[in-house]
């Protein structure tokens, strides 16, 4: 069924995080009749001021709260037409130190949202979009470069973060099958863009270099990630919300594979810094070698296409953004 976000009341979870912020700005600007309810617990990764320009706007409501709060979630779901679920603990390194908050928010929090969705009458009346990740597939080898993740592959997550995302991903699909809920799952590659908390590679390296600090690169630096600009990701989220088929999973990718070392050198060059700023550090435990996404399904079935395929196109703008906000 084709629907439009325009005129909808959209519950966004995690709207003060990196992708959530970009998503809220995008829909508020693009759809003049959308109403956004942003539910965010404001953990270390969430910043309310990211969306300060919408505070006071009659089409925007911020709710500080936890997705594990059953009665709050039930009330908000009754008040909306669809849910974009982005709230998560999202950093792999933190999940290696302590998996508990990852299971709590990513698995149990998703179950709380799904159970509140079950009370919707009829059950397929409101769409639930779950923002999963390509990390649920596990890893690909560096050698078989023709291999890419497709939606029908088994999930073989390796980090506690990825395992918690995979648990929720499967719960969403189970609720579709069991209760007839209108769900869509997306699995996107690594995003880059403004508003990301500076702990993951790109914002961490840029902000370190702004302060003339070295950049800590894991292991041999040959780990490959498939990068997507956040603008393309949020457009894909709109696309699946409006046109995705209920019960389906869609990969999101821009065919932009780079090793961490290549990426680091690109950032160093763009910021006029020498390669001696690279500090090779002990590899992350269980570090996946390569992610690569086959995004044919969303392209061919829904007509979505990445507009930014070359990482370097947006790099100067990104460095300028972090210079303004963290420099």
Ligand X SMILES: NC(=O)c1ccc[n+]([C@@H]2O[C@H](COP(=O)([O-])OP(=O)(O)OC[C@H]3O[C@@H](n4cnc5c(N)ncnc54)[C@H](O)[C@@H]3O)[C@@H](O)[C@H]2O)c1
Residues interacting with ligand X, by CB under 6 A? 13-14, 16-20, 39-43, 45-46, 66-68, 86-90, 105, 109, 131, 133, 165, 188, 190-191, 197
Contact between 266 and 315 (Cβ < 8 Å): yes
Q: Which residues are catalytic?
A: 134-135, 161
What's the CA gap between 124 and 149, in Å, rounded? 29
CB neighbours of residue 34 within 10 Å: 20
Least separation in angstroms between CB 94 and ligand X: 10
Contact between 62 and 55 (Cβ < 8 Å): yes
* Pairing mode of beta strands 224-229, 249-252: unpaired
What's the CA gap between 132 and 155, in Å, rounded? 12
CB neighbours of residue 292 within 10 Å: 22
Residue number, 31 or 161, with CB nearest to ligand X: 161
- Name residues whose C-beta falls within 8 Å of residue 260's C-beta, 6 or more positions apart in sequence: 201, 217, 218, 221, 222, 223, 224, 225
Residue number, 190 or 208, with CB nearest to ligand X: 190
Residue nearest to ligand X (CB): 17
Least separation in angstroms between CB 66 and ligand X: 4
What's the CA gap between 302 and 90, in Å, rounded? 27
Question: DSSP per residue over 68-94, as a string?
Answer: T-HHHHHHHHHT-SEEEE------HHH
Least separation in angstroms between CB 166 and ligand X: 11
CA 200 from chain centre, in angstroms, equals 13
Residue number, 85 or 273, with CB nearest to ligand X: 85
Least separation in angstroms between CB 19 and ligand X: 4
Residue number, 164 or 208, with CB nearest to ligand X: 164
Task: Map residue 38 onto helix, strand or coil.
Answer: strand
CA 23 from chain centre, in angstroms, equals 10
Residue number, 193 or 261, with CB nearest to ligand X: 193
Least separation in angstroms between CB 131 and ligand X: 4
């Amino acid at each position: 069924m084709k629907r439009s976000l325009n005129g909808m009341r959209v519950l966004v979870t995690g709207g003060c995080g990196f992708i959530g912020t970009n998503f809220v700005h995008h829909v508020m600007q693009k759809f003049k009749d959308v109403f956004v309810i942003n539910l965010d617990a404001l953990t270390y990764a969430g910043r309310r001021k990211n969306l300060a320009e919408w505070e006071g706007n009659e089409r925007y409501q911020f709710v500080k709260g936890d997705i594990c709060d059953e009665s709050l979630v039930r009330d908000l779901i009754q008040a909306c037409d669809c849910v974009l679920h982005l709230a998560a603990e999202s950093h792999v390194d933190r999940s290696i130190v302590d998996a508990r908050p990852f299971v709590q928010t990513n698995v149990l929090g998703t179950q709380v949202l799904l159970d509140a969705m079950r009370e919707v009458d009829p059950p397929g009346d409101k769409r639930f979009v779950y923002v999963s990740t390509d990390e649920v597939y596990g890893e690909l080898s560096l050698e078989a470069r023709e291999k890419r993740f497709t939606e029908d592959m088994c999930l073989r997550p390796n980090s506690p973060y990825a395992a918690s995302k995979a648990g929720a991903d499967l719960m969403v699909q189970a609720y579709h099958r069991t209760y007839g809920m209108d769900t869509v799952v997306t699995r996107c590659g690594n995003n880059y863009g403004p508003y990301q908390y500076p702990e993951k590679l790109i914002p961490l390296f840029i902000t370190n270099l702004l302060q003339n600090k070295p950049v800590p690169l894991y292991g041999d630096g040959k780990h490959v990630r498939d990068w997507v600009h956040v603008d393309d990701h949020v457009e894909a989220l709109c696309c699946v919300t409006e046109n995705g088929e209920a019960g389906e999973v869609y990969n999101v990718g821009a065919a932009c594979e780079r090793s961490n070392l290549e990426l680091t050198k690109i950032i160093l060059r763009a910021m006029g810094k020498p390669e001696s700023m690279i500090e090779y550090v002990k590899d992350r435990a269980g570090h996946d070698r390569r992610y690569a996404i086959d995004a044919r399904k969303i392209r061919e079935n829904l007509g979505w296409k990445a507009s930014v395929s070359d990482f370097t196109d947006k790099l100067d703008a990104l460095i300028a953004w972090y210079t303004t906000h963290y420099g």
